[in-house]
């Protein structure tokens, strides 16, 4: 039975800095004047001076005329459209990528500089002592060290040449400029810090792929959460909260494809198929095997006892503070992509859609760009357009003249946490003490003294993460363990095994994708994309579609399934190898005529011999997309580019379809609550921004989750500031008259559980047929009645939701709307979150009232434990038309520019929020017609 808990405080919602939605030219002068006033306050009071409008404009890029750049072999044209999106034309590969570096630095160098300090663990050099802890952790991971090894030993000569050219272009932009001439943020930093940007290096670009891999690393958070749950929940309860993937209801990605060119296809007959738990084959780097299924891993947990639980509680706090590169520290990372064959499209050629779901950031993590050789030849090989990252050459997602591709996170489990038994100067492994490998790192701190740390690694390269927190070390020394674990000795630590800590070839993959001319080239390029493991979809102008799963994916023995941390002292828990490239799943021209990837299971668990993960997304979005496609093509229907766009904006709530019929049958005494209940009558389950029904339903859903599950989780998973009286488990905290202790949550609001995503959809779905389950029981609180079964808990949630929205939106339900609750704030990722309030006002934008929601196709995600504000979004949207590439469409979350008062800072956001797409010119003629400004870079 879930523990008896009583809530004592209200909810803590996420907050943001409100300011006007900008991008309109008519407001530009006013904003500049605000800036002058703000900086007069910030800088003038302290230094007796203030910044002028000319100072602000000094960092804006030159977009017309010509500029001479040393190192170019010929002229390069940079053509920008009305949204400031550049298309670059050159006559050699090196000139093309040098110009790309120059142009991205014009628009986004401050962002690039922060990113490289993040990846190298040098944020303290820019922002002072507040970032020392983060730098310690990032130095321990050693992303830049691995990137340097990749550059030196793994990458091809041509990739190195392109990276060098890109760096040359960035440095050509920096030459002779001081901070204020580069970006407003440097001028702001100058008041407290003498930091000055240094030259860009090729390794700075490679390192960014490690940051991306970290945020897309798989199920590490689930590993931690499951282990933390053991302090309060029993194995069956944990299993309830991590149900099996619903294969019979939500189809996996690969249904007709292959996993080996030698082994045959997936067939219902079972040919060439295996099951989780069966023996594997010999992999490319050792003997491979499979895990034991999804499960909760509680058998592994029993071997480590409270030592692991206490260590992970501290480890989470360290992880939570690490800045997210592209996601919410690994939580809520999803995406949609799908491709439809020409036999089902109006154009008679494929249509391909993609919208990766990432943290909302300002500027957007993506940078739109076209890279064009005037004449494609051996000397100049590229004609490609799409989305890339500022700071990295090439295009990550997009199309060239022959093919298009999209990406979604596969969720494959490529990381494991190990509890290590510390002993003297080493660690226990198979009954013997092994010495750690060590290195010393020096962290330079702006305005303070440098700090030295020692990084310890196991013999097989796993960094000891727990060294980064003194409290973790002490906890490890005090931790109690059961008889299955070694004695305490010097304590316990936590080490990380992660594929991205091995040098790889992902940078080679980017350029190979950009010049791929067909399916064979695409598959060869994908094989180089070792981390992060992504779902790659494909379409070409010859009317073929496909999918492939690339990545360096570990295999494990039957002792471990990757679901929870494992004992590091036992060799049977180490990885056994990696799945061979030709044994990874793919699909080409399936008979059904379309492929959907939206973080669902890649393959049916009974038709593949390797365990890829037990923590897939649960397929709510993917199945909805599939249903939308099927409804369009039935009876001979055809799909258009705009149909694809409309599918991206689908707001339908699948959990509402399940719950609302039950909610409408609940008898309620309070007229005010009944009035709110009536909002659900006739509701079509779409979560439009102006919908009062969507607002009320999501508030009910949030309260159902809180009552049934949230108040029963351990404090490490609950929201900071939410306190409960719980059964006494230790001597801390004041006791009430019933002998209970007051216990407060410890997790940030956008990371807490239950977050309300489609895992929780599946949890509730499975409990709907168990109306007397203990999960539905909760004690009375104040005037709120106790719940004794499912329907009484639903009644309680409807009451709580009514009064919560009364508090937030007012008593009159006619004024309610989902958009008033579900708002997007865009924050500059450094000074916009940690700078003075006045500077935050200058740099940040919002709010926008959004439609959509958690696990809808239009996935504007929110965390039900923490509040209704948007925490992750479709970071861009694109629809590629393979019949006429100039009729493709795209949009970014913000704009091309990272300069706060540029007209292109957030000029795409309003259209993005409405679901609009911009024209995407590709051919030289179409680009010429769309060009507003032309800059010529001359040698």
**Which whole number is the average pLDDT over 901-910?**
96
In this predicted structure, the answer to whether residue 64 has a pLDDT above a threshold of 90 is: yes
Distances 481 to 236, 301, 410, 785 between C-alpha atoms, Å:
22, 11, 35, 41
Nearest to 61 by CA among 830, 898, 829: 898
Between CA 117 and CA 135 the distance in angstroms is: 9
Task: Output the CA torsion 275→279→282→288 (10° steps).
Answer: 80
Q: First CA to last CA across the chain, in angstroms? A: 74
Q: What is the DSSP string of 482-542?
A: -TTS---TT-EEEEEEEGGGS---HHHHHHHHHH--SHHHHHHHHHT--SS-EEEEEEETT
Up-side HSE of residue 574: CA atoms within 13 Å toward CB?
16
Question: What pLDDT score was predicted for residue 321?
Answer: 63
Give the model's confidence band at 317: pLDDT under 50 very low, under 70 low, under 90 confident, else very high. low
Question: What pLDDT score was predicted for residue 325?
Answer: 54
pLDDT (tens digit per residue) in 822-863: 999 999 878 877 777 888 888 999 999 999 999 999 999 999
Q: What is the DSSP string of 321-357?
A: HSPPSSSBTTBS-EEEEEEE-GGGBTTSS-EEEEEEE
User: Where do we find the tokens 């064979």?
Assistant: 520
247-251, 569-573, 766-770: least confidently modelled range = 569-573
Question: What pLDDT score was predicted for residue 393?
Answer: 98
Q: What is the DSSP string of 576-635?
A: EEE--GGGS-EEES-TTSEEEESSS-SS-GGG-SS---S----SHHHHHHHHHHHHHHGG
Between CA 632 and CA 337 the distance in angstroms is: 17
Between CA 342 and CA 541 the distance in angstroms is: 10
Between CA 178 and CA 187 the distance in angstroms is: 9
In this predicted structure, the answer to whether residue 471 has a pLDDT above a threshold of 60 is: no
**Which whole number is the average pLDDT over 71-96?**
98
Question: What pLDDT score was predicted for residue 298?
Answer: 35
Query: Is the CB of residue 614 less than 8 Å from the CB of residue 563?
Result: yes
18-22, 541-545, 584-588, 769-773: least confidently modelled range = 18-22
For residue 490, with 0-12 CB atoms within 10 Å meaning exposed, 13-18 middle and 19 or more buried, which class applies? middle
Handedness of CA 811, 812, 815, 816 (dihedral sign): positive
Query: Is the CB of residue 168 less than 8 Å from the CB of residue 204?
Result: no
Query: Is the CB of residue 222 less than 8 Å from the CB of residue 332?
Result: no
pLDDT above 90 as % of the chain:
66
Question: What pLDDT score was predicted for residue 757?
Answer: 93
Question: What pLDDT score was predicted for residue 739?
Answer: 64
Phi, psi of 879, deg, nearest 5: -135, 115
For residue 671, with 0-12 CB atoms within 10 Å meaning exposed, 13-18 middle and 19 or more buried, which class applies? exposed
Up-side HSE of residue 34: CA atoms within 13 Å toward CB?
15
pLDDT (tens digit per residue) in 147-192: 999 999 999 999 999 999 999 999 999 999 988 899 988 888 887 7
User: Where do we find the tokens 């830049």?
Assistant: 144
**Which whole number is the average pLDDT over 403-425?**
90
Can you state the angle between helices 758-767 and 654-663, rounded to 10 degrees?
Answer: 40
Q: What is the DSSP string of 111-162?
A: HHHHHHHHHTT-HHHHHGGGGHHHHHHHHHHTHHHHHHHIIIIIS-HHHHHH
User: Where do we find the tokens 């508030």?
Assistant: 699
CA geometry: angle at 597 spanning 641 and 699, to 5°? 90
Question: What pLDDT score was predicted for residue 494?
Answer: 85
Nearest to 807 by CA among 672, 660, 909: 672
**Which whole number is the average pLDDT over 780-784?**
81
Write out the two tokens for 366.
Answer: 């993506």
Question: What pLDDT score was predicted for residue 294?
Answer: 35
Between CA 752 and CA 331 the distance in angstroms is: 10
Nearest to 326 by CA among 428, 412, 213: 213
pLDDT (tens digit per residue) in 648-691: 999 999 999 999 999 999 999 999 999 999 999 999 999 999 99
Write out the two tokens for 785.
Answer: 């009645």
Write out the two tokens for 791.
Answer: 């329907």
Query: Is the CB of residue 34 less than 8 Å from the CB of residue 747?
Result: no
Between CA 671 and CA 201 the distance in angstroms is: 67
**Which whole number is the average pLDDT over 402-421?**
91
In this predicted structure, the answer to whether residue 21 has a pLDDT above a threshold of 50 is: no
- DSSP secondary structure letter of residue 906: S
SS3 681: coil
Q: What is the DSSP string of 338-404?
A: EEE-GGGBTTSS-EEEEEEEEE--BS-S-EEEEEEESS-SSS---EEEEEE-TTS-S-SEEEESSEE
- DSSP secondary structure letter of residue 786: P
pLDDT above 70 as % of the chain:
82
Nearest to 254 by CA among 609, 617, 588, 526: 588
For residue 82, with 0-12 CB atoms within 10 Å meaning exposed, 13-18 middle and 19 or more buried, which class applies? middle
Nearest to 226 by CA among 336, 150, 317, 302: 302
Residue 14, C-beta contacts closer than 8 angstroms, at least 6 positions apart: 749, 750, 863, 866, 867, 869, 871
Question: 3-state SS of 45-104?
Answer: HHHCCCCCHHHHHCCCCCCCEEEECCCCCCCEEEEEECCCCEEEEECCHHHHHHHHHHHH
**Which whole number is the average pLDDT over 799-818?**
97
Between CA 681 and CA 693 the distance in angstroms is: 9
Q: Which helix (H) or strand (E) holds 279?
A: strand 279-283
pLDDT (tens digit per residue) in 437-460: 999 999 999 989 999 999 999 998
Between CA 438 and CA 453 the distance in angstroms is: 10
Question: What pLDDT score was predicted for residue 476?
Answer: 47
Between CA 735 and CA 753 the distance in angstroms is: 25
Q: Which helix (H) or strand (E) holds 566?
A: strand 566-567
**Which whole number is the average pLDDT over 386-391?**
97
Between CA 410 and CA 405 the distance in angstroms is: 15
In this predicted structure, the answer to whether residue 888 has a pLDDT above a threshold of 50 is: yes
The region, left, alpha or beta by phi > 0 then psi within -120 to 50, assigned to residue 619 is left
CA geometry: angle at 616 spanning 870 and 767, to 5°? 80
In this predicted structure, the answer to whether residue 15 has a pLDDT above a threshold of 50 is: no
Between CA 582 and CA 587 the distance in angstroms is: 12
In this predicted structure, the answer to whether residue 279 has a pLDDT above a threshold of 70 is: no
What is the pairing mode between strands 554-556 and 575-578? antiparallel
Q: What is the mean pLDDT of the chain?
A: 85
**Which whole number is the average pLDDT over 763-774?**
97
Between CA 812 and CA 295 the distance in angstroms is: 47
For residue 177, with 0-12 CB atoms within 10 Å meaning exposed, 13-18 middle and 19 or more buried, which class applies? middle
In this predicted structure, the answer to whether residue 293 has a pLDDT above a threshold of 50 is: no
Q: What is the DSSP string of 32-46?
A: HHHHHHHHIIIIIHH
Nearest to 152 by CA among 160, 144, 162, 140: 160
């Amino acid at each position: 039975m879930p523990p008896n808990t009583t809530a004592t405080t209200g909810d803590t919602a996420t907050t943001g800095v409100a300011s006007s939605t900008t991008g309109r030219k008519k407001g530009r002068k006013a904003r500049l004047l605000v800036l002058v006033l703000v900086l007069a306050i910030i800088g003038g009071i302290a230094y007796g001076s203030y910044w002028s409008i000319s100072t602000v404009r000094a960092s804006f890029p030159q977009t017309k005329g010509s500029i001479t750049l040393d190192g170019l072999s010929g002229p390069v044209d940079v053509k920008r459209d009305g949204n400031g999106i550049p298309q670059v034309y050159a006559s050699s590969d090196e000139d093309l990528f040098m110009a790309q570096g120059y142009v991205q630095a014009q628009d986004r160098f401050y962002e690039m500089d922060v990113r490289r300090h993040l990846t190298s663990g040098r944020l303290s050099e820019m922002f002072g002592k507040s970032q020392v802890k983060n730098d310690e952790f990032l130095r321990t991971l050693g992303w830049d060290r691995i990137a340097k090894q990749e550059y030196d030993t793994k990458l091809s000569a041509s990739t190195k040449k392109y990276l060098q050219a890109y760096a040359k272009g960035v440095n050509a932009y920096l030459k002779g400029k001081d901070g204020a001439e580069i970006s407003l943020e440097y001028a702001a930093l100058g008041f407290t810090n003498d930091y000055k940007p240094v030259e860009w290096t090729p390794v700075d670009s490679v390192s960014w792929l490690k940051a991306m891999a970290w945020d897309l690393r798989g199920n590490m958070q689930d590993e931690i959460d499951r282990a933390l749950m053991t302090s309060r929940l029993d194995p069956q309860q944990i299993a309830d909260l991590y149900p099996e993937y619903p294969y019979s209801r939500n189809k996996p990605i690969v249904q007709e494809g292959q996993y080996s060119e030698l082994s045959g296809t997936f067939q219902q007959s079972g040919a060439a198929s295996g099951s989780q738990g069966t023996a594997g084959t010999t992999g490319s780097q050792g003997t491979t095997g499979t895990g034991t299924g999804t499960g909760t891993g509680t058998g592994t947990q029993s071997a480590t006892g409270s030592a692991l639980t206490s260590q992970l509680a501290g480890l989470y706090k360290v992880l939570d503070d690490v800045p997210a590169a592209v996601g919410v520290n690994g939580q809520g990372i999803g995406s949609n992509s799908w491709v439809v064959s020409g036999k089902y499209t109006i154009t008679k050629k494929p249509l391909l859609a993609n919208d990766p779901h990432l943290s909302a950031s300002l500027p957007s993590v993506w940078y739109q760009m076209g890279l064009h050789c005037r004449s494609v030849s051996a000397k100049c090989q590229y004609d490609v357009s799409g989305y890339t990252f500022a700071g990295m050459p090439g295009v990550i997602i997009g199309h060239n003249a022959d093919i298009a591709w999209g990406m979604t996170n596969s969720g494959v489990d490529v990381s494991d946490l190990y509890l290590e038994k510390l002993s003297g100067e080493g660690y226990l492994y198979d009954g013997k003490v092994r010495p750690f490998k060590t290195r010393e790192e020096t962290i330079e701190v702006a305005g303070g003294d440098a700090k030295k740390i020692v990084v310890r690694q196991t013999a097989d390269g796993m960094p000891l993460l727990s060294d980064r927190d003194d409290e973790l070390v002490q906890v490890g020394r005090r931790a109690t363990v059961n008889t299955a674990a070694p004695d305490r000795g010097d304590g316990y630590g936590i080490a990380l095994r992660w594929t991205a800590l091995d040098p790889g070839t992902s940078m080679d993959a980017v350029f190979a994708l950009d010049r791929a001319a067909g399916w064979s080239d695409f598959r060869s390029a994908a094989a180089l994309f070792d981390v992060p493991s992504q779902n790659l979809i494909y379409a070409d102008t010859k009317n073929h579609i496909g999918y492939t799963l690339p990545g360096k994916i570990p295999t494990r023995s039957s002792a471990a399934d990757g679901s929870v941390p494992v004992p590091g002292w036992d060799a049977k828990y180490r990885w056994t190898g990696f799945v061979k490239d030709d044994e990874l799943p793919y699909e080409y021209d399936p008979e059904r005529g379309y492929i959907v990837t939206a973080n669902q299971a890649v393959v049916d668990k009974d038709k593949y011999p390797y365990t890829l993960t037990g923590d897939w997304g649960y397929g709510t979005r993917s199945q909805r997309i599939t249903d939308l496609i099927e409804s369009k093509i039935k009876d001979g229907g055809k799909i258009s580019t705009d149909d694809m766009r409309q599918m991206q904006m689908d707001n339908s709530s699948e959990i509402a379809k399940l719950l609302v019929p039950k909610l409408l049958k609940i008898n309620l005494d309070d007229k005010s609550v009944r009035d709110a209940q009536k909002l659900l009558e006739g509701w079509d389950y779409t979560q439009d921004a102006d919908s009062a029904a969507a607002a009320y339903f999501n508030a009910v859903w949030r309260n159902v989750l809180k009552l049934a599950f949230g108040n029963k989780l351990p404090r490490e998973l609950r929201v900071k500031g939410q306190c409960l009286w719980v059964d006494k488990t230790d001597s801390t905290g004041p006791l009430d008259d019933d002998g209970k202790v007051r216990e407060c949550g410890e997790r940030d609001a956008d990371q807490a559980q239950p977050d309300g995503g489609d895992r929780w959809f599946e949890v509730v779905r499975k409990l709907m047929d168990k109306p007397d389950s203990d999960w539905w029981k909760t004690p009375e609180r104040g005037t709120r009645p106790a719940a004794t079964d499912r329907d009484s808990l639903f009644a309680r949630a409807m009451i709580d939701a009514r009064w919560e929205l009364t508090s937030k939106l007012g008593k009159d339900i006619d004024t309610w709307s989902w958009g008033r609750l579900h708002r997007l704030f865009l924050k500059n990722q450094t000074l916009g979150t940690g700078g003075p309030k006045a500077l935050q006002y200058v740099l940040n934008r919002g709010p926008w009232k959004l439609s959509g929601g958690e696990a809808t196709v239009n996935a504007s995600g929110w965390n039900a434990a923490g509040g209704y504000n948007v925490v992750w979004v479709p970071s861009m949207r694109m629809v590629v038309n393979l019949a006429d590439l100039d009729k493709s469409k795209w949009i970014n979350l913000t704009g091309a520019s990272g300069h706060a008062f540029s007209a292109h800072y957030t000029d795409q956001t309003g259209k993005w929020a409405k679901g609009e797409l911009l024209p995407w010119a590709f051919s030289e003629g179409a680009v010429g017609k769309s060009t507003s400004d032309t800059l010529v870079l001359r040698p």
